[in-house]
Structures are given as structure tokens and as C-alpha cells.
């Protein structure tokens, strides 16, 4: 086995790039009404899925998304050796309870909306490192459980700020393998926690933009690449406000020409009630496992870079006057 091509402190280039052998996406009715509505595997008929609470529905959504991803290869839960998953709920209960039902050996993650890239990055290292043959990496979020935990119950009808983002009801899961056909994870960058003292919990995009810029610049420097080396760069959930700020920051970092699209802006394009766009672990997970991987597999894109971003505060830290730390992790995905 070749030695890992370590690139700088934070970036790894894989020896045997893990294969994304199958994947699946799930969204709610609102998410399906966006421009990518036809590209998701499962549109949930409602937000409760026969459960009594939003939280239980969220867990069921993640569980089913993992099964759907495995099912595309004719596999069942017991064919997976490891589940790496996380979500937005306190104590990541939707992932924990999904892992209980699936009975796949489980490592829980918390990276807020960066979770999809975090789980893929770790899963890819564990496959490439020869510890497992098949790892499922997953992330999800649910609008109604998240709103009542982080802000106020949706039923209360509070008017959100224009810079706020709409937590997506969505999930995505990828099945990473050491062999098979499909797009491959070729490199990954682990992010640092960045905090420029932004304290407005209604403006996550502003809090996450610096982390996105930091990880993107480190990834490019470590790999000796320019943005042009990617057919597409996707930020995970900066929203329109964060995207604009990130563009300005990239200019200051010497990259005036970086074109990137944002999963949060993409998901609800045309829907004005989401304000600055979508967010939530499920947002970049669903865009990845809906339109994106399909296009990479079809050869439409040769090399893409997904940088999922997460705001790492809690309501408690905000009440205590803390600013909002953020992190972003990157995974480069290439056509087979």
C-alpha cells in the first residue's frame, strides 16, 4: 500500500480513492417544490411519517435514507460495517435512534451543517486506511424539530429575519466502499474552527462564510490547485448573505475569480419565504445525494469540491453572549 500523499497539515489525498458506490436523498414537500425537486429519491408525503413527533419523524427519515442508499446496490443494513452520522438535535438523537433501528456499528458525529462532509471525510479515511470495506456516511435535518429547538416552534408564527435561513427537512446518505463503480472521494480537508465575533444567531451565513473561505484556501494551497481545477465548487449552506460575504473575502485572499454555488441557495431557488436560503445538515446532504453525484457519475462534472459549513453555537452559548464559531470541511469528488 502506498504512503498517503499528505498535503500540508489539513489535507489528505487518498491512496485508493474510496468509491461512492450508491447514495440516496430524501426531502420534504417544500424542498421538492424547488428547482431540483425531480432529482431526489424520496419525497416524504408529510413531515411526521406516521410518528407522533417531529423528532421521531426525523430519525425515521434518516433510517430510511440509509436503507435506500444501501438498497440501490441490493444491500441491507447488515451489509454495512459502520455508520457515521450526525444531525442538529441535542445529543444527535435522530442519528442515535436510527443507528439503534439499523443495528450498524455506529460512531456519532456533531458538526452542525458541516456533517455531510465530515462524515464522508472520516468514512473515506476509514475505507482508504483498510479498516472497513463498506461505510455509510449520512446526515439529516428536520425543519420543525430544529426550529423549536434552536428558535421557536413554527406554530408560533414568529417573523424570521431576512438574513435567516430555512432549516431543510432533508437527508442524504452515501455508501463508501473500497471497490465498485461510482464517483470517488479523491482528497479531503479537515477544517479549523473560525470565529470573527459574529453574534447574530439569525445570521448564520455571516458566521460560516469565514470558515468556508479558510478551508477552501487551505485546500487549494495544500493541493497546489486553483479554483479552475474544479468543474464545480459547492459551499454547504452559506445562503445568499454568506455567499456574498465569502465572495468578498475570497477577493481579499487573492482569488477574485472564484465561482461557487451554494447548496442553501440552490435548494429553494425561487421560494422567497426562505429568506437567505436553506440550511441544516440535510441541505448539502440532499444536494450532494440528489443532483450532484448523479452528474458526477454521468461525467457531466469531472471534479467537484463540496465544502459543507457548520455553525457550532447552541442557544445556550448565544444566550450567554458568545459569538458563533464555525467550521467547514471539504471533500473532492471525481468522476469514475
Q: Minimum Å distance from CB 145 to a copy of itself?
A: 9
Q: What are phi and psi of 85, to 5 degrees?
A: -150, 160
Residues contacting 219, CB < 8 A, separation 6+? 10, 11, 187, 189, 225, 305, 307, 330, 332
Q: Which is nearer to a copy of itself, 5 or 29 (CB)?
A: 5
Q: What are phi and psi of 105, to 5 degrees?
A: -50, 140
Helix, strand or coil, per DSSP, at residue 250? helix
Q: Minimum Å distance from CB 241 to a copy of itself?
A: 22
Q: Which is nearer to a copy of itself, 131 or 299 (CB)?
A: 131
CA 334 to CA 236: how far, in whole Å? 18
Footprint of a copy of itself (CB under 8 A): 1, 3-4, 6, 9-10, 12, 52-53, 55-56, 81-82, 86, 89-93, 96-97, 99-100, 103-112, 118, 121-122, 125-126, 128-131, 149, 190-195, 312-317, 320, 322, 325, 327, 329
CA 307 to CA 193: how far, in whole Å? 14
Q: Which is nearer to a copy of itself, 106 or 255 (CB)?
A: 106
Q: What is the DSSP letter of 36?
A: T
Q: Minimum Å distance from CB 6 to a copy of itself?
A: 7
Q: Which is nearer to a copy of itself, 24 or 187 (CB)?
A: 187
Q: Which is nearer to a copy of itself, 125 or 171 (CB)?
A: 125
CA-nearest of 112, 115, 171 to 314 is 112
Q: Which is nearer to a copy of itself, 122 or 296 (CB)?
A: 122
Q: Which is nearer to a copy of itself, 41 or 128 (CB)?
A: 128
Which secondary structure element, helix H or strand E, spans residue 204, and what is its range?
helix 204-223
Q: Minimum Å distance from CB 117 to a copy of itself?
A: 11
Q: Minimum Å distance from CB 14 to a copy of itself?
A: 9
Handedness of CA 270, 274, 280, 282 (dihedral sign): negative
SS3 of 40-61: the string is CCEECCCCCCCCCCHHHHHHHH
Q: Minimum Å distance from CB 333 to a copy of itself?
A: 18
Contact 288, 306 (CB under 8 A): yes
Q: Minimum Å distance from CB 219 to a copy of itself?
A: 12
Handedness of CA 143, 145, 150, 154 (dihedral sign): positive
Amino acid at each position: 500500500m502506498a504512503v498517503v500523499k499528505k498535503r500540508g497539515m489539513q489535507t489528505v489525498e487518498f491512496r485508493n480513492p474510496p468509491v461512492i458506490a450508491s447514495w440516496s436523498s430524501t426531502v420534504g414537500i417544500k424542498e421538492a417544490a424547488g428547482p431540483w425537486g425531480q432529482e431526489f429519491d424520496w419525497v416524504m408525503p408529510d413531515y411526521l411519517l406516521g410518528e407522533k413527533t417531529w423528532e421521531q419523524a426525523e430519525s425515521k427519515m434518516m433510517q430510511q435514507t440509509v436503507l435506500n442508499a444501501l438498497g440501490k446496490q441490493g444491500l441491507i443494513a447488515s451489509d454495512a460495517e459502520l455508520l457515521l452520522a450526525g444531525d442538529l438535535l441535542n445529543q444527535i438523537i435522530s442519528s442515535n435512534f436510527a443507528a439503534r433501528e439499523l443495528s450498524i456499528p455506529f460512531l456519532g458525529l456533531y458538526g452542525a451543517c458541516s456533517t455531510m462532509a465530515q462524515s464522508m471525510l472520516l468514512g473515506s479515511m476509514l475505507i482508504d486506511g483498510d479498516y472497513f470495506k463498506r461505510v455509510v456516511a449520512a446526515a439529516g435535518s428536520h425543519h420543525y424539530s430544529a426550529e423549536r429547538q434552536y428558535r421557536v416552534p413554527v406554530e408560533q408564527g414568529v417573523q424570521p429575519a431576512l438574513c435567516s435561513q430555512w432549516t431543510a427537512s432533508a437527508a442524504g446518505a452515501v455508501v463508501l466502499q473500497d471497490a465498485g463503480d461510482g464517483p470517488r472521494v479523491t482528497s479531503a480537508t479537515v477544517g479549523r474552527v473560525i470565529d470573527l465575533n459574529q453574534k447574530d444567531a439569525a445570521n448564520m451565513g455571516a458566521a460560516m462564510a469565514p470558515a468556508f473561505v479558510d478551508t477552501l484556501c487551505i485546500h487549494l494551497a495544500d493541493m497546489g490547485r486553483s479554483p479552475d481545477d474544479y468543474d464545480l465548487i459547492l459551499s454547504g449552506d452559506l445562503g445568499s448573505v454568506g455567499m456574498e460575504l465569502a465572495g468578498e473575502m475570497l477577493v481579499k485572499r487573492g482569488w477574485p475569480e472564484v465561482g461557487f454555488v451554494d447548496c442553501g441557495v440552490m435548494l429553494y431557488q425561487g421560494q422567497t419565504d426562505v429568506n437567505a436560503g436553506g440550511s441544516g445538515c440535510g441541505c448539502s446532504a440532499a444536494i450532494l445525494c440528489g443532483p450532484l453525484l448523479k452528474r458526477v457519475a454521468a461525467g457531466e462534472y469531472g471534479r467537484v469540491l463540496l465544502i459543507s459549513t457548520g455553525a457550532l453555537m447552541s442557544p445556550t452559548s448565544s444566550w450567554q453572549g458568545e459569538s458563533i464559531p464555525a467550521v467547514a470541511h471539504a471533500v473532492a469528488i471525481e468522476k469514475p
